[in-house]
């Protein structure tokens, strides 16, 4: 492949952790073939991509002589994946399997009764409902696990001869090898603390050695069968094992392994007057991060091919819209990549993967035909082609205003993962003291959500969060008005899609501002609070009345690809509206 440009379908489900070794319907390597129709693959290919990625568990895809319990449904996984590979090839698309071998296994599994000697550290993992599960890691310091990794990687290459490649993550939220969740672990604000390792075998080994060995074993297994399959190694959270930018791991990668680095993680940005850490994918932060720049420099000096990991559709900043239309920031990201000859990328995670103006803009700016000397002219040129008949200068001004608005986004891991940002249009606003029960996880469809927003406020004051969204909604509305006027004469269908998303973003930002304003009032609730509370209620009623017609015309809005369901829709927004109107009538 001349370049690797990886995407995926929003219709395909990443899969879930199960206590069973292999629950077929919970594996994307089993389900993806049904999702990726010719129509879906054609859409991805025509949007400028040449590969897709599918999440897989090595132990389920292929059988293993080392651990006979693995691969009981291997035939079905291989049949479905080979079917997908053949269909994708007709559209010029390669298929990559994203995996994290050797993934940990539920501590209660019968596997451990037969193979207790390969058990490593025990970790806790949250299930889909938020409950804790104990998971045991497979210890890669044992010869059995090493043999399993190499032979199973060979079996993967043999069983999927047309596979484009594999993407390896060696540090992750999922337990895998003994060091996978140990070492120097960063908290929400980048402060490192040592998490000691319990496995006596791996405690004698440096994590850099363990990680490097896993990559090499998988590489050697694949290379024993195929010289063409690409092997990508992702640097996600390697800082747990080695100080930024993890030079030893990078330098010791096999020469034919591609190094993929997070584009934004590993830097700081001044937000609301203070330096804040950036340790997640971001569209409000242009990047590249210091980590990306330093680590790719090391990789190139070591002769490695480099690849960027981004999310340029949307991120946890607002994951329940098809895209965050900050096209000006996308331009800046691409400008750096082109200026540094990095053409390979994986552009999405298991959400933020709808085809929109963001995907079109990224691939447009990445082509050599578009000069990148001037941002404004590049935005105008893209707008002219994407929205025929529009006022390109106006569209460009709107996009610049959206990017300016997002500079005030209160970016932090606690806010991204523990605020109601993704479901605020359905999140109740009530009078009286809050219940002190956390509102829950922002990326999954938790069944129970409390009133407390405290967990989302670590690193920011409540006043700062409100200030940030007051700025955002004001500037976003200014950009939205410009965009509506600039697209007025365009007949392109995509005009309606992009306006729908820009409008939904505005209403979400206005709603989250009201949510935190109400929370501030409720924390100090007294008999005189009701008047100010009703002012917030009135604003949210107006806000919901404005967004519900938008949601009714656009079923893309409100869907979260990771939770794989709707966090808000017409019904849930209407329910919130009815409850607020009832409060107003009782006041």
Report how far residue 73's alpha carbon sits from residue 58's, in angstroms, rounded to the nearest whole number: 12
What pLDDT is recorded for position 185?
73
The yes-or-no verdict on residue 1 having pLDDT over 80 is: no
The two three-digit tokens of residue 201, written as one number: 């075998």
Which CATH superfamily includes the segment(s) 5-101+143-386? Phosphoenolpyruvate-binding domains (3.20.20.60)
Mean pLDDT, range 59-76, rounded to an integer: 98
Give me the residue label for tokens 């205003």: 401
Give strand pairing partners of 566.
Answer: 559
- The conformation of residue 25, written as its DSSP 8-state character, comes to G
Mean pLDDT, range 6-32, rounded to an integer: 95
Give the model confidence (pLDDT) of 28-46 as tens digits.
999 999 999 999 999 999 9
Report how far residue 219's alpha carbon sits from residue 150's, in angstroms, rounded to the nearest whole number: 8
The yes-or-no verdict on residue 257 having pLDDT over 60 is: yes
Is 137 within 8 Å of 175 (Cβ atoms)?
yes
The yes-or-no verdict on residue 580 having pLDDT over 90 is: yes
DSSP 135-175: EEEEPTTSHHHHHHHHHHHHHHHHH-TT--EEEEE-S-SS-
Residue with more model confidence, 527 or 413: 413
Give the model confidence (pLDDT) of 126-151 as tens digits.
776 667 899 999 999 999 999 999 99
The yes-or-no verdict on residue 93 having pLDDT over 90 is: yes
Backbone angles phi, psi at 505, to 5 degrees: -55, -45
For residue 447, give every residue at least 6 positions away whose Cβ sits within 8 Å of its Cβ, in sequence order, or none.
129
Is 489 within 8 Å of 391 (Cβ atoms)?
yes
- At 399, is the pLDDT very low, low, confident or very high (cuts 50, 70, 90)? very high
Strands 559-560 and 565-566: antiparallel
Give the model confidence (pLDDT) of 204-239 as tens digits.
999 999 999 999 999 999 999 999 999 999 999 999
Mean pLDDT taken over the chain? 95
The yes-or-no verdict on residue 384 having pLDDT over 60 is: yes
- At 187, is the pLDDT very low, low, confident or very high (cuts 50, 70, 90)? low
Residue with more model confidence, 201 or 527: 201
The yes-or-no verdict on residue 188 having pLDDT over 60 is: no
Domain boundaries defined on the chain = 5-101+143-386, 393-586
Report how far residue 136's alpha carbon sits from residue 18's, in angstroms, rounded to the nearest whole number: 13
What pLDDT is recorded for position 190?
56
The yes-or-no verdict on residue 192 having pLDDT over 90 is: no
CA angle, corner 507, sides to 503 and 512, nearest 5?
A: 150
Mean pLDDT, range 250-274, rounded to an integer: 97
Give the model confidence (pLDDT) of 165-174 as tens digits.
999 999 977 9
Q: From the CB of residue 134, how many other CB atoms can be counted at a distance below 10 Å?
A: 13
- Using only C-alpha atoms, what is the Rg of the chain? 24
What pLDDT is recorded for position 127?
72
The yes-or-no verdict on residue 193 having pLDDT over 80 is: no
């Amino acid at each position: 492949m001349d370049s690797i440009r990886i995407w995926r379908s929003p219709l395909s489900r990443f899969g879930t952790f199960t206590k069973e070794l292999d629950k077929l319907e919970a594996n994307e390597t089993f389900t993806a073939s049904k999702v990726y129709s010719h129509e879906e693959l054609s859409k991805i290919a025509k949007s400028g991509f040449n590969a897709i990625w599918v999440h897989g568990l090595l132990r389920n895809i292929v059988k293993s002589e080392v651990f006979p319990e693995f691969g009981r449904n291997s035939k079905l996984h291989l049949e479905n994946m080979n079917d997908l590979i053949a269909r994708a090839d007709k559209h010029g698309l390669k298929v990559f399997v994203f995996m994290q071998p050797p993934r940990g296994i539920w501590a209660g599994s019968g596997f451990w009764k037969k193979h207790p000697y390969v058990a490593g550290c025990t970790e806790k993992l949250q299930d889909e409902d938020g409950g804790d599960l104990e998971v045991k890691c497979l210890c890669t310091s044992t010869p059995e696990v090493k043999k399993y990794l190499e032979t199973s990687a060979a079996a993967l290459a043999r069983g999927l001869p047309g596979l484009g490649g594999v993407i390896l993550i060696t540090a992750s939220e999922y337990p895998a090898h003994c060091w996978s969740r140990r070492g120097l672990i960063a908290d929400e604000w980048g402060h490192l603390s040592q998490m000691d390792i319990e496995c006596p075998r791996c405690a004698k080994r440096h994590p850099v050695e363990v990680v490097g060995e896993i990559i090499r074993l998988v590489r050697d297994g694949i290379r024993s069968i195929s010289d063409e399959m690409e092997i990508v190694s992702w640097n996600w959270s390697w800082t747990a094992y080695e100080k930024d930018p993890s030079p030893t791991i990078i330098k010791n990668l096999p020469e034919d392994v591609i190094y993929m680095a997070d584009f934004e993680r590993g830097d700081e940005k001044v937000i609301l007057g203070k330096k804040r850490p950036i340790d997640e994918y971001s569209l409000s932060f242009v990047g590249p991060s210091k980590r990306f720049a330093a680590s790719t420099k090391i990789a190139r000096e070591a002769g490695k091919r480099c690849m960027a990991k981004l999310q340029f559709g949307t991120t946890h900043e607002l994951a329940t819209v098809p895209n965050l239309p900050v096209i000006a920031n996308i331009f800046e990201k691409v400008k750096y990549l082109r200026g540094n000859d990095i053409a390979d990328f994986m552009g999405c995670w298991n959400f933020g993967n709808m085809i929109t103006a963001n995907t079109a803009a990224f691939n447009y700016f990445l082509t050599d035909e578009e000069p990148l000397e001037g941002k404004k002219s590049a935005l105008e040129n893209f707008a002219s082609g994407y929205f025929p008949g529009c006022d390109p200068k106006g569209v460009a001004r709107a996009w610049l205003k959206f990017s300016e608005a997002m500079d005030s986004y209160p970016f932090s891991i606690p806010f991204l993962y523990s605020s109601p940002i993704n479901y605020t249009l359905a999140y109740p606003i009530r009078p009286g003291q809050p219940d002190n029960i956390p509102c829950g996880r922002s990326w999954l469809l938790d069944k129970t959500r409390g009133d407390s927003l405290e967990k989302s406020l670590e690193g920011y004051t409540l006043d700062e969060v409100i200030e940030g969204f007051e700025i955002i909604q004001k500037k976003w509305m200014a950009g939205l008005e410009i965009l509506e006027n600039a697209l007025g004469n365009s007949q392109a269908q995509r005009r309606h899609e992009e306006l729908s998303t820009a409008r939904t973003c505005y209403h979400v930002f206005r709603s989250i501002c009201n949510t935190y304003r109400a929370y501030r009032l409720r924390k100090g609730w007294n008999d005189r609070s009701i008047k100010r509370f009703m002012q917030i209620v009135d604003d949210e009623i107006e806000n919901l009345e404005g967004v519900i017609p938008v949601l009714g015309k656009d079923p893309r809005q409100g869907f979260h690809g990771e939770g794989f369901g709707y966090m808000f829709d017409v019904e849930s927004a209407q329910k919130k509206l009815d409850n607020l109107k009832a409060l107003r009538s009782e006041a």
